[in-house]
Amino acid sequence: MNKLDLIRGAPNADGGALAPIQDYLNEIHARISKIEGGAPAAYIPELGKVDPKLFGIAIATVDGQLYTVGDARVPFTIQSVSKPFMYGYALQHHGRSRVLEKVGVEPTGEAFNSILLDEAANRPFNPMVNAGAIAVAEMMQGDTLQQRTNNMLELFSSLAARKIEIDEAVYKSELATGHRNRAIAYMMLNTAMIEHDPEEVLELYFRQCALSVTACDLAVMAATLANDGTNPVTDHKIFDTQYVRDVLTVMNSCGMYDYAGEWAYEVGMPAKSGVSGCIIAAIPGQIGICVYAPPIDTQGNSVRGIAVCQDMSREFQLHSFYNHTNVRSVLRRDYRADMVRSNRLRTLEERTLLAEEGHKIAVLEAQGALFFGSTEQLLRKLTELAKDSKYIVVDFKRVHHADNAACKLIGRAVRAMAKSDTELVFASIDNEGSLDRLTRVLAETAEGHALRQFRDADAALEWCEDQLLAGKGSSTGTKFSLNQINLFDGLTPEECRLVEGIVRPLVFDKGDVIMREGDPAKLFFVLARGTVSVEIKLHDKPGRHKRVLDRARPDLRRDGAARRRYTLRRRDREREGDLLRARRRRVARVGRRASQRDDHYSRQSDARILRASPSRQRGNQRSGIGLQAGDRAPRQPAREPCRERRAARWMASGVR
């Protein structure tokens, strides 16, 4: 199966689905298709035979969604659009320094096939012109031409997420007419920019330009660049992120030949054009675009392709210098512990102290992505809070990304705060998630390694509260009385004193294990003060545990408000039980009355029947049936239940 078929297609507008992007592509395709001008490239005979009316557009998102319109699946040859990807391959396998020895990164302002080298460095100006592309082609790995060709095909197949082949007719046409490229190759052989046989290097270069692709293929390739070098269809990492930056930079400055300056001004997307009539563009983090329309202008760029990209850039503000970020949104909220406390149940004395001194604990919640600008906002707020805070908790729960710049700035802030009187505490940093880079940066320094980190903001806030209370001399001793523990409710003071004489007080530090699975059951533990947690092993994840219980002792004796709430709830339950029992008694009483009335009606009916039997006996004897005196008359058909009985049944149905 063609892997490209696995790409999610655009929603079906005919089925009533919401498809604004597809609708836009349909509209722009119909409008731009009316533009005339340019002609297919004739200097390569096979390209001059292409139908000039072909016109297709494809957009691939960084998560694999594909939108197409027109001739987006019609095959054509890739030509110069292959150059950015060959350049990325060279960077990936040889490194930046080695590649820069062979080819520069400066725009030329000259035609793409100029026979020209940089006189200062004696090398091609950039990898987007033919001279630079030929130098880069020589860097394809392989001992023989066949091996290098296979490696080149494997590269482009991985980029397109399907098998890519060479259009032999176009390849032979280029091989027969590529005299200008031969002049360029032999010139670079003379300057030692290439080392192999120029004819072999040119054969690979011509095969590279003759790869058969579609607009859908190139949109996926462009989306791979937009996705930091990871193919959005296969999720295969092809280029390192650092080299994707280099490729996009050169595309932005040199990808459109001597039209590059105007393109950057009007469109502002990293792009590359080819003389077959295709243009690709990559918007980092968003989409890859390909437009195919064979008629090209005098500079070698597709006429309708330029028009489409200009319209899309204006319509959706895709220019690189449009600012889509708001660094101020990184600050979700901040609050003090005198206004918002942890979930730990505190005594009245502790709550009073926190209400008076809790302003010395600040909690700062961050959100979104952390990069230089947003992290600067975060650290500026952190500095402001540190002026009158003893403890600061930074909650990263809603932060989904932190780049290298953010991690380095945060590391510097941790080192600076370690020298101050304010203690910095971090919460909700997942060591195996999107913030693992930040965890590694913190672990590299002694200050970062010593930084306190908690699983969530509530745990961090509770620790800060404990430190603040301990510093204020709050009662944290180990002595206690049994009448303060709910388990011993009902014991008299004398009985409590007797039990206290046989109990054994135990004290555990934070992190101590009280008991383990399999330990002998020798003690009965009663939680007098503090918090305990119960964790179980995850059998499907060796070495991992799951917290199933986190319990703090509710101090109802010393917490008058909690005690009153408990008493009220108990009284409410007693009152509810009394009402239910009274209701059941009323139902039973009504039922008994209804039953007695039915029995009364039945006795009256029996008496009437017996009194009437003498007059009926004669007639009945004649018919052969009759009643003897003293016989019990058959009961009449059941009467309709009386009003009381109906009421009793209705009330009984409501009892649960």
Known binding site for substrate: residues? 80, 130, 174, 181, 205, 257, 275
The residue annotated as part of the active site, out of 83, 102, 272, 381, is 83
Which is catalytic among the residues 89, 171, 243, 257? 257
Q: Quick one: tokens of 436? A: 């693992």
Residues 6+ apart with CB under 8 A from 82: 133, 156, 208, 209, 211, 274
Our answer to whether residue 308 is catalytic in this structure is no
- Does the active-site annotation cover 80? yes
108, with CB counted inside 10 A (0-12, 13-18, 19+), is buried
Indicate the pairing of strand 361-370 with strand 331-336.
antiparallel
Residue 220 CB-density burial (10 A; 0-12 exposed, 13-18 middle, 19+ buried):
buried
Question: In this structure, which amino acid lies at residue 107?
Answer: P
Binding site membership: which residues?
Answer: 80, 130, 174, 181, 205, 257, 275
Measured CA to CA, the distance from residue 490 to residue 635 in angstroms comes to: 61
HEC profile of 243-270: HHHHHHHHHHHHCCHHHHHHHHHHCCCC
d(CA 321, CA 299): 25
Strand order across the beta sheet in which 76-77 lies: 76-77, 211-213, 165-166
Is 537 annotated in the active site? Answer: no
- Which of 275, 308, 441, 587 is flagged as catalytic? 275
Catalytic residue (choose from 67, 205, 243, 292): 205
Cα torsion for 247, 249, 255, 258, to the nearest 10°? Answer: -150
Instruction: State the Cα–Cα distance between residues 146 and 150, nearest whole angstrom.
Output: 6
Rg (CA), the chain: 42
Half-sphere exposure of residue 30, counting CA atoms within 13 Å on the CB side?
5
Catalytic status, residue 83: yes
Angle at CA 498, nearest 5°, toward 495 and 501?
150
For residue 288, what are the β-bridge partners? 60, 282
C-alpha to C-alpha distance for 430 and 415, rounded to whole angstroms: 21
Cite the active site residues: 80, 83, 205, 257, 275
